[in-house]
Amino acid sequence: MLHVDLDAFYASVEVLKDPSLAGRPVIVGGVGGRGVVSSASYEAREYGVRSAMPTVRARRICPDGVFVPPDFEAYKAHSNRFREVLLAHTPLVEPISLDEAFLDVGGATMLFGDPPNIAARIRAEVEREVGVTCSVGVASTKFVAKLASDHCKPNGMLVVPADGVLAFLGPLPVGRLWGVGKKTGDVLSRLAVRTISDLAATPEPILARLLGAQHATHLSQLAQGIDDRGVVPYEAPKSVGNEETFEHDVDDDETLLRELLALSGNVASRLRADGYRARTVTMKVRLATFTTLTRSKTMADATDVGADLYRAVADLYKALPGQRRRVRLLGVQATGLVPAGAEQLALLRGERWGDVERAIDRIEQRFGSGSAMPASLLDRSKHGHQF
């Protein structure tokens, strides 16, 4: 079992975006009056800056800090690249957040060597491909692997062999165990249980009386290094689609094409939100007669841009046989999804439309859905209820 965790992820990505920040105390967080720190570089941590600390306080203790607002689009792109590197080593990857994941590498040893070898390969590849260092814990259970990666941060690797688990866990404070929050911590400190070895030495019936049988069993087992949870691999969505049933059948091409443009835009914005690009787009047209026509097109480059999807579905629509069909339902579906981390694709394509649509995403996040749209849809929104 491996736990892989990128070091000071958001702050590290900000340094990649602006290399002049390297070596400086970089603090990513809400810059408004009530903002909190979401990530701090190790230079900033030396001043005592921590995640979840109010930004106002961080400014006080780290007056030389460089404060930047979060850029989730950049973090998501780097996170996708990170996930691709992990998936190249095993399909059993369980992402916990944008910057950490568990890996079950039991089936990968024939290809890549024993788990410490795999961990070393992953560390080198993540640094090369993502541009951010990571720390890796290697252990026979999930929670020990997680504690091990925390222990060796930043840019480290710690292997805890099965017969070394108790020695590793013993001296750690009980608060480091999953499931020990403030309340449980208070109960344990009344029992003078401070370390994990104290907990392992406490008879379970005593814990059960104060914490309930289930919680007591769980904690006792963790304290003895027992954790049988496996990796739950992430499953990528197979498709993203959107369809519209009209209140009254529609028979003019202009209206139908405008609807396809709107549907393409919705599908693209969901692809971007989920961090995918699509290779294939399918148009569905249900006629008033209930006959359903579906047509697909595979594009040269995977895309998350509505204008690209629309261009493909508009071609498909125009190639339908006959004319003046009465349409009851239109749908646009994207399949052949690939993670959007491979940024070279975007560079090859020039990204003009992508930039415009990403700006729309940001406006809609601030002002609500429908507040920004291509000019050709403005007309549709004026008569928005005619369907």
Active site residues: 100
146 vs 325 by CB, closer to Mg ion: 146
The rounded distance, in Å, linking the Cα atoms of 27 and 200 is: 39
102 vs 353 by CB, closer to Mg ion: 102
Task: For residue 332, give the nearest of 243, 268, 253, 250 by alpha carbon.
Answer: 243
Beta-ladder partners of 137:
3, 158
Q: Which conformational region is residue 279 in: left (phi greater than 0), alpha (psi within -120 to 50 degrees), or beta?
A: alpha
78 vs 286 by CB, closer to Mg ion: 78
Compute how many residues bind Mg ion; rule: CB under 5 A.
4
Give the interface segment with Mg ion, choosing from 76-84, 94-102, 253-261, 345-353 (CB under 5 A): 94-102
Token pair of 380 as six digits: 């549709």
Q: How far is the CB of 193 from Mg ion (least distance, A)?
A: 29
The rounded distance, in Å, linking the Cα atoms of 271 and 303 is: 9
Q: How far is the CB of 98 from Mg ion (least distance, A)?
A: 9
Q: How far is the CB of 229 from Mg ion (least distance, A)?
A: 20
Give the interface segment with Mg ion, choosing from 30-38, 46-54, 56-64, 91-99 (CB under 5 A): 91-99
| DSSP run (H or E) holding 301 | strand 292-303
Task: For residue 291, give the nearest of 333, 271, 321 by alpha carbon.
Answer: 321
Q: Give, as ranges, the residues between 230 and 289 that touch Mg ion (CB under 5 A).
A: none
Q: How far is the CB of 100 from Mg ion (least distance, A)?
A: 5
3 vs 218 by CB, closer to Mg ion: 3
* Residues 6 or more apart whose Cβ sits within 8 Å of residue 109: 115, 118
80 vs 269 by CB, closer to Mg ion: 80
Q: How far is the CB of 51 from Mg ion (least distance, A)?
A: 9
Task: For residue 94, give the nearest of 4, 192, 226 by alpha carbon.
Answer: 4
The rounded distance, in Å, linking the Cα atoms of 23 and 241 is: 45
5 vs 43 by CB, closer to Mg ion: 5
Q: How far is the CB of 53 from Mg ion (least distance, A)?
A: 16
Contacts of residues 30-38 at CB distance under 8 Å and 24 or more positions apart, as own/partner, are 30/55, 30/69, 30/70, 31/55, 31/67, 31/68, 31/69, 38/10, 38/70
Peptide bond into 154 cis (omega under 30): yes
Residues 50-89 vs Mg ion: string with x where CB under 5 A? ----------------------------------------
Q: Give, as ranges, the residues between 95 and 154 that touch Mg ion (CB under 5 A).
A: 99
The rounded distance, in Å, linking the Cα atoms of 200 and 193 is: 9
Residue 88 burial by Cβ neighbours in a 10 Å radius (0-12, 13-18, 19+): middle
Beta-ladder partners of 97:
100
Residues 4-43 vs Mg ion: string with x where CB under 5 A? -xx--x----------------------------------
Q: How far is the CB of 69 from Mg ion (least distance, A)?
A: 19
Give the interface segment with Mg ion, choosing from 33-41, 92-100, 159-167, 310-318 (CB under 5 A): 92-100
Question: Rounded to 5 degrees, what are φ and ψ at 368?
Answer: 100, 155
Residue at token pair 């493909």: 312
36 vs 356 by CB, closer to Mg ion: 36
Interaction site with Mg ion (CB under 5 A): 5-6, 9, 99
